Structure 1
Amino acid sequence: MDTPDLNNPELYTNRQLSLLEFNRRVVAQAADPDTPLLERLKFLCIASSNLDEFFEIRVSGLRQAQEMGVGQSGPDNRTPQQVLREISDRTHALVDEQYRLLNDEVTPALAESGIRFLRRTEWTPAQQAWIQNYFQTELLPILSPLGLDPAHPFPQVLNKSLNFIVALEGRDAFGRNSGMAVVQAPRALPRVIQLPATLEGNGPYDFAFLSSIIHAHVNDLFPGMNATGCYQFRVTRNSDLYVDEEEIDDLLRAMEGELPSRRYGDAVRLEVAANCPEHMSQFLLEEFELDADALYQVNGPVNLNRLLAVCDLVDRPDLKYPGFTPGLPTELPHGTDLMKVMRRRDILLHHPFESFAPVAELLRQASQDPEVLAIKQTLYRTGADSAIVDHLVTAAQAGKEVTVVVELRARFDEAENIGLANRLQEAGAHVVYGVVGHKTHAKMMMIVRRESGKLRHYVHLGTGNYHSRTARLYTDYGLLTANPAIGEDVHRVFLQLTSLGKVSRLTHLLESPFTLHQGMLDKIAREQAHAEAGHPARIIIKVNSLVEPRVIRALYSASMAGVQIHLIVRGMCSLRPGIEGISDNIEVRSIIGRFLEHTRVFYFANHGEPELFCSSADWMERNFFRRVETGFPLLNPEFRQRVIDDLEAYLQDNTQAWLLGSDGHYTRDAPGPDEAAYSAQTTLLETYAERN
């Protein structure tokens, strides 16, 4: 039998199209009647936000590649033109489904539950009067309508901002009649306005869209003229930042200078109201230098993501997921001296089922401990008003040596990270921006404490960011340890990040861009060797994305040797499972549920001596070769078994799991006739509640 060519493009799914499939699964959560009603609305908003980033980064990158004449690229061997064509077809269908769900299912169901989005034609006289006053006092003073003529050319339109193209009749005070104007809605304005419950005929949760209010009063913006049409539109722009790190002296200043350009990058998508006349849509396409494929006509708000505000404004627990309080391990009651516990044993936290609070509390205690000499930490995303940053500032002001590796290029968090870098520097912390050419994505914290005349390292390693809000929404693991060998490894990684030196040999950690990729290839090959020797062999990988060709080829080869491979991949997956003779021993599933699956876990059965690594890295080229990442082993057999049990729960899921077929499409799993429904996330919530 001939050996298959594992470079065959037919063995790979295009990564961008795979990412679109993920968004289709998110929209499917909004379609699921078993999803609580306000959560269905939230999933529609999440899908809208995901598509924004998809166009800002992915589509814009493909358009640039097309303009540069790039031919076939990637293991699937498709050209940018081919991918853009298919993206257009699939995305138009997906957006149509989003708005169908909003208009035909979610909005009517919300109305039945007393949460109403009122159209202009539905406003009562009392509502009309209140809205007119709101327009006159809150909107009119800050709106600047722009008539279009040679002295008033088409304005600069901010990325993802709400705008209106207005058709006009008549002449203005100067005798001009351009026939067209643009109204830009300032970003500070809410897009959904809650009407007072005290108004006659109002329910407790009646809302009006900002677009409806402006549309209803657009004539007030053009005295003496008649607005014959008013249509919302929104343009999405290329938002990828480019800074040539080899040619600059100060990365922070360069990033500060580059950020404003994101607002006015090249246009990649135009969204317009579904009733916008063709000639006006064409006029907008020409202004933004876009072709017809980039036009999306939507029957509703052009930015569904702004409806997320409604979920916060509406106090209806019965329409949301049941509340829960993240637990604490039994060995960590409130007020515990965490470093004292860590001297006795390691601590493994599984967020959001277990609280992120111990991580922040460890840093707080360290900031106030007179025996703590130094704290080192990486920060990729932290969020506004971060307790983590507060504690680092406190430590620096107390005279401790605080070193923070801040990743300024964390996409869409650049401005926030620049601000926290400045704040930390002002407090006296040493702030560095990582390594030229490599984003620092590793999640590490190290505390150096003097004990009995010696220095001891206390370490936190995680799969997710130091971000208290996302720690309640994303699944992640965090390890707290005082293991001297792991502490020494983390110390050496920090030295690499802050100084100039050669690659250090690490005892336990794997590190990108040096050893993580080859380490994974070696462990896959070892599992393959066990299978070829006739031993049971198994691999479980849980990541957000799996697209790097060499590890995919290694997995194919291991599958051909008989290794049983389970891949839990939330988003992009370029591997095709179920291909006879190549990947028929590989199953790929994606879990889409209440929490965003974010853990990266790599399990290898290793013929009775199992290894399990947690990591900050997905299996992508960027994570293996262009980022600083860490993979850390769980050496404690109890912890290792806990995580294996968690993985098995995901493999049993038959309610929120989607199974990838060899054709690159996903099918939602469902219980069989004699099979009970099983949700991994629900089970883990219950399991950790009992455990803690």
Structure 2
Amino acid sequence: MSDVEVAGKEKPVSDTAEVKATEVKAAEVEAPEPPPLLTDYDNPEYYINRELSHLQFNIRVLEQALNEEHPLLERLRFLLIFSSNMDEFFEIRVSGLKRQIEFSREQVGLDGMRPADVLKEINRITHVQVERQYNILNEILLPELRKNGIYFLRRNEFTDAQKSWIRTFFFQEVMPIISPIGLDPAHPFPRLANKILNFIVELEGKDAFGRETGMAIIPAPRSLPRFVQLPRQVCDKEGDHYVFLSSIIHQHAGDLFPGMTVKGCYQFRLTRNSDLSLENDEVEDLATALQGELLSRSYGDEVRLEVVDNCPRYLSDFLLKQFDLTEDDRYEINGPVNLTRLMDVCNSENHQHLQFEPFTPGYPKGLPTKSDRLMDAIQKEDVLLLHPFQSFTPVVDILRQAAKDPSVLAIKQTLYRTGAHSQMVDALVDAARHGKEVTVVVEIRARFDEEENLKLARRLQEAGAVVVYGVVGYKTHAKMMLIVRREGRKIVRYAHVGTGNYHQGNARLYTDYSLLTCDPDITSDVHKVFQQLTGMGKALRVKKLFHAPFTLKKGIIDLINQEAERARAGEKAHIIIKINSVTEPQAIKALYKASQAGAKVDLIVRGICCLQPGIPGLSENITVRSIIGRFLEHTRVFYFYNGGEEKVYCASADLMTRNLDHRVETCFPIEHPKHVIRVRRELSAYLSDNTRSFILKGDGEYERRVPVRNQKERNAQLTLLETLAV
């Protein structure tokens, strides 16, 4: 008998009363007591350390190198990304902790850990993970690459023909550039640049001047390739054969020291502090000051020594002493010390079957493919794009159209990271040369892109554009473009606001939302933010945008609190936040209180998360997941159920103190009902992902989510590719 049939049958009154009484008693017995609410929101046990959470993200990236669902060269790419991420982690985060200790300026966060304790834990974890990384490379990936015709040859594998070719290459391409440095009183230990491949050489014998130092350093110039592909005619097998520069130098180290015996040659690499610091009160010309800082970036304080694991201990001890590093700072590795230079192999056109399948980003239906009609389409309806699944071309095309349109009077744009060969910059230059009033806010302090951004700024200035560098002390991280056009007797504004940079390469690799709109309130707000950046005066009141450092933090926290109030009133309450990092204390406390009120909180946090989910009485209604897949998750989305009148915002900012208090950021509403429904649907794809998602556990570690029995596999990025891309 079906449930419907049972529900429709009448029962005697006495039986019904007895059943209800039994149900009540069962409910009284089975319903657990709700945990007492925890109100000590500053308890360190409720928070995860920022640096350790950052490290967990890097480990999740490394995990992808083991995932056999990824093509082989993509697995290698993930391993190399881990290397690159760890380099930056030491250059910025570890160096920052060391400086706090050195200058007795230790900062203790909400988690209560002192910098010395954090460093100790970092050392414990990173030594294990770096050893694991090289085990994955040597024991899994390199053998698999050989099976697929990609060989990285060791010296003991060289054939006579290969030795001859390598010898010629060494004398023609390497030896003329290298400058070995013998160590003696006239040649003290050199100051080595950050992340440069070096060799320490142990020598025996006397040189032409009768010197007998026993030791030398060989720095490998950056201009030399870190690996070389051998020509097919010297290879006895089909496939691509590569030789590391380190192997070439090892093979011919004796030729660099004629008449002496090389007892050993060992590669090493030094990592230095690469964070730039400008004293804001003393800066008169930001560009000039930054240019000076860039010159010294390669020679910051020493942070880490990577040395090949067969280097004798007394030699690596000698290096530690020279760099004033400790045993904890020594990383003995079994392989090349500069793995990130292998990235070109991952992009090999000869092995596309070992890479992700190519795709063509989708183009929204109804949006004109001719750039000169884009503004007409935007007048009719806002355009929402999700990159890389949808094309970045409309964003580029509307700027190109504006550059040539005689009715366009002015263009304003922010640039944070754009790339060396940017079509966006080309269009801005073209607009300036066509007589448009072009104003560009270039953030020259975008980490590791400073030098490139200085060059872009000079190029724009030479074309006649007005270039400003934002506000000293506040990085301009907002992503916005404003086009001012005369249409009849009216001035109409068009705007682009987004969650990602104006970088076409990143638009194929990062997930980001773009909104193209001519909404009068939003475009007016964007105009006011530009006024604040280029001029001076009190903060201007905006209607629809939230903007940091003024209203963004308060605006988001108010929306979280409103959802909590609905939950307390017994209404359905749901918050979904998809973001890169969560560290801001006030935002975390607001989310804890929303959870306590009964609101369901789903956080999709790619990287750092200091919030600790699953604590009874505090965060049991909060779930935190991280998605690691083909594309770098970069969208920042805030969703609130809002009693059924759903609210959606997208932002350039993460929930981090630096974004909300020390940067210029924008957060914009998604208002068209169909766009709201669409964003909610796309967020749902991430929440249901059971193949690329990791769930944050109470101990601060992540557990990969896998389909349970009979459950369909769900991959959010693949779903979006299938629904949005061509």
TM-score, length basis structure 2: 0.94
Amino acid at match of 2:347: D
CA change 1:145–1:560 in 2 (3 A) is: same
| CA distance, structure 2, for counterparts of residue 333 and residue 130 of structure 1 | 56
Q: Counterparts of 1:427 and 1:3 in 2: how far apart (Å)? A: 60
What is the 5 A alignment of 1:52-451? 52-71=87-106, 73-336=108-371, 337-451=373-487
Give the corresponding residue for 2:606.
570
Q: Distance in 2 between matches of 1:74 and 1:453?
A: 56
- The CA distance in 1 between the partners of 2:658 and 2:147, in whole Å, is 47
Is the Cα–Cα contact under 8 Å of residues 196 and 202 in structure 1 kept in the other structure?
no
Letter in 2 for 1:315: N
CA distance in 2, matches of 1:441, 1:200: 50
- Distance, in Å, in 2 between the alignment partners of 1:357 and 1:384 is 18
Deviation, structure 1 residue 595: 0.2
Q: Distance in 2 between matches of 1:333 and 1:180?
A: 68
- Give the aligned partner of residue 554 of structure 1: 590
Alpha-carbon RMSD across the aligned residues, in angstroms, is 0.9
Matched, 1:615 2:658: no
Q: 1:514 aligns with which of 523, 531, 550?
A: 550
Aligned to 2:631: 595
CA contact (8 A) 1:578 1:586 kept: yes
Question: For residue 478 of structure 1, what is the amino acid of its counterpart?
Answer: S
State the alpha-carbon separation in 2 of the partners of residues 424 and 317 from structure 1.
38
| Cα deviation, residue 247, structure 1 | 1.1
Other structure's SS at 1:496 match: helix
Determine the C-alpha separation between the residues in 1 that align with 2:284 and 2:105.
Answer: 31
Change (3 A) 1:511 1:123: same
SS of match in other structure, 1:173: coil
User: In the comparison of the two structures, how many residue pairs are matched?
Assistant: 690
Instruction: Supply the AA of the counterpart residue of 1:17.
Output: L
How many Å separate the matches in 1 of 2:170 and 2:439? 50
Structure-to-structure mapping, 1:516-535, within 5 angstroms: 516-535=552-571
How much does 1:454 deviate?
1.4
Distance in 2 (CA, whole Å) between partners of 1:64 and 1:47 is 24
Separation in 1 of the partners of 2:658 and 2:639? Answer: 22
Q: Is the 8 A contact 2:368 2:377 kept in 1?
A: no
State the match for 1:637 in structure 2: 673
Contact 2:37–2:596 under 8 Å retained in 1 = no
1:498 pairs with one of 505, 530, 534: 534
State the shift of 1:467 in Å: 0.1
Asked if structure 2 preserves the Cα contact closer than 8 Å seen for 1:27 and 1:98, the reply is yes
Question: Which residue pairs with 1:46 in the alignment?
Answer: 81
Which AA in structure 2 matches 1:554?
A: A
Q: Which runs of 5 or more residues in structure 2 are unaligned?
A: 1-35
SS in 2 for 1:457: strand
TM-superposition CA deviations, 1:276-303 (whole Å, max 9, x none): 1100111101111101101001100101
The 5-angstrom pairing of residues 578-593 of structure 1 reads 578-593=614-629
Deviation for aligned residue 1:304: 1.0
TM-score, structure 1 as length reference: 0.99
Taking the aligned partners of 2:127 and 2:190, their CA distance within structure 1 comes to: 27
- What letter is aligned with 1:412? F
C-alpha distance in 2, partners of 1:572/1:248? 32
What is the rounded CA distance, in whole Å, between the counterparts of 1:47 and 1:314 in structure 2? 23
Q: In structure 1, which of residues 519, 525, 537 is the aligned counterpart of residue 573 of structure 2?
A: 537
Q: SS of the counterpart of 1:232?
A: strand
- Cα distance between partner residues in 2 of 1:216 and 1:333: 60
Partner secondary structure for residue 348 of structure 1: strand
User: Deviations along 1:649-674, whole A, 9 cap, x unmatched?
Assistant: 00000000000001100000000012
Q: Is the 8 A contact 2:151 2:239 kept in 1?
A: no
Does residue 461 (structure 1) correspond to residue 497 (structure 2)? The answer is yes
CA distance in 2, matches of 1:68, 1:186: 34
User: How much does 1:245 deviate?
Assistant: 2.3
2:688 alignment partner, one of 652, 671, 675? 652
Q: Read off the aligned partner of 1:408 and give its amino acid letter.
A: I
Q: Return the offset for 1:314.
A: 4.7
Question: Contact 2:100/2:107 (CA < 8 Å) preserved in 1?
Answer: no
Per-residue deviation at 1:2? Answer: 6.3
Equivalents in 1 of 2:290, 2:315: separation in Å? 37
Moved more, 130-139 or 312-321: 312-321
The residue type paired with residue 407 of structure 1 is E
Shift of 1:156: 1.4
**Any idea what SS the aligned residue of 1:316 has?**
helix
Aligned-partner Cα distance in 2 for 1:521–1:115: 52
The aligned amino acid for 2:507 is A
Q: Which amino acid aligns with 1:584?
A: E
Contact 1:163 1:184 in 2 (8 A): yes
8 Å contact kept, 2:493–2:520: yes
Report sequence identity in percent. 58
The C-alpha deviation readout for 1:394-425, integer Å capped at 9, x for no partner, is 11111110000000100000000000011111
Answering whether residue 711 of structure 2 is matched by residue 675 of structure 1, we say yes
Secondary structure at 1:381 match in 2: coil
Separation in 2, partners of 1:541, 1:140: 55
Most deviating of 215-224 and 72-81:
72-81
Query: Aligned partners of 1:71, 1:148: CA distance in 2, in Å?
Result: 38
Structure 1 pair 37–12 and aligned structure 2 pair: CA distance change class (3 A): same
Q: Return the alpha-carbon distance in structure 2 between the equivalents of residues 601 and 48 of structure 1.
A: 29
Gaps of 5+ in 1: none
The match for 2:512 among 473, 476, 480 is 476
Q: For the Cα contact (< 8 Å) 2:686–2:716, is it kept in 1?
A: yes
Partner amino acid, structure 1, of 2:708: G
Tell me by how many angstroms 1:32 deviates: 1.1
Letter of the 1:517 partner, please give it: K
CA contact (8 A) 1:70 1:80 kept: no
Shift of 1:24: 0.4
Moved over 3 A (4+): none
Cα drift, residue 237 of structure 1 = 0.4
1:685 aligned onto 2:718:
no
- CA deviations 1:194-239 (Å, max 9, x no partner) are 1111224143311000100000100000000011100000000000
Q: 1:477-531: CA deviations, max 9, x gaps?
A: 0000011111100000100000001111111000000001011111111000000
Structure 1 match to 2:4: none
Q: Distance in 2 between matches of 1:190 and 1:314?
A: 19
Q: 1:343: how far off?
A: 1.1
SS at match of 1:190: coil
| Distance (Å, rounded) in 2 between the aligned partners of 1:390 and 1:379 | 13
**Partners of 2:346 and 2:608 in 1: CA distance:** 28
For residues 179 and 471 of structure 2, the distance between their equivalents in structure 1, rounded to whole angstroms, comes to 45
Q: Is the 8 A contact 1:407 1:441 kept in 2?
A: yes
Q: For each residue in 1:150-179, what CA deviation from the matched residue of structure 2 results, as whole angstroms up to 9, or x when unmatched?
A: 000111111000000000011111111100
Q: 1:2 to 1:680 in 2, by over 3 A?
A: closer
Instruction: Name which one, 1 or 2, has greater alpha-carbon Rg.
Output: 2
Separation of aligned partners in 1, 2:239 and 2:68? 24
Pick aligned residue for 1:29 from 54, 61, 64 = 64
Assess if the C-alpha contact under 8 Å between 2:385 and 2:515 holds in 1: yes
State the partner residue of 2:16: none
